[in-house]
Amino acid sequence: MQGALGFESAAACATSAVRSAVSDRGGEASRGRECTLAGAKKVVEFVVPGTPVGKGRPKVASRGGKFAQLYTPEKTANYEGLVAHSGHAAMAGRPLIEGAVFVNLDIRLPVPSSWSNRKRLMALDGKVHPTKKPDIDNVEKAIFDGLNGVVWKDDVQVVSVQKQKRYSNVPGVDVLIREIGPGG
């Protein structure tokens, strides 16, 4: 039995979305895909453009000398807004995912401009890895928080994550979200 987009299985739908992400490197924030399968499983795929930003630690501001107030750093808030915008565009008015989800994140960082052409090519070939900030888990947290109430109700629904951080000529984060059924 085929799903709404002609896919025979969740695996075929997810594979198609991943292939699309690979062929669409550097796509617009508004580009996104969703596969709806028999059994209401969904796959949502989109790109968050620009250099990835990790979730910053809350800052403290004192008010009147007696009260302290925590706030999210501006850079983090702006990036979470970009993530929310990208996710919202991909959802295109569809309802939030309510079940458990698998998330795949392909985090693409820019190669430092100060590097030689030789080192740059090695980085783009995957021979030099990005062992610098942002931390992979902090990028994940910023993405997940930005998608709360946009793609899913809350990031507690995420039960499985696959992620990688690498260098690319086109920085951004490819996000693939797949609703998973009771059996996984």
Q: Give the per-residue SS3 of the chain.
A: CCCCCCCCCHHHHHHHHHHHHHHCCCCCCCCEEEEECCCCCEEEEEEEECCCCCCCCCEEEEECCCEEEEECCHHHHHHHHHHHHHHHHHHCCCCCECCCEEEEEEEEEECCCCCCHHHHHHHHCCCCCCCCCCCHHHHHHHHHHHHECCCECCHHHEEEEEEEEEEECCCEEEEEEEECCCCC
pLDDT tier for residue 47 given thresholds of 50, 70 and 90: very high
Asked which of 69-73, 87-91, 122-126, 162-166 is least confident by mean pLDDT, the reply is 69-73
Decide if pLDDT at 110 tops 60: yes
174-183 confidence digits (pLDDT tens): 999 999 976 5
pTM of the full structure: 0.75
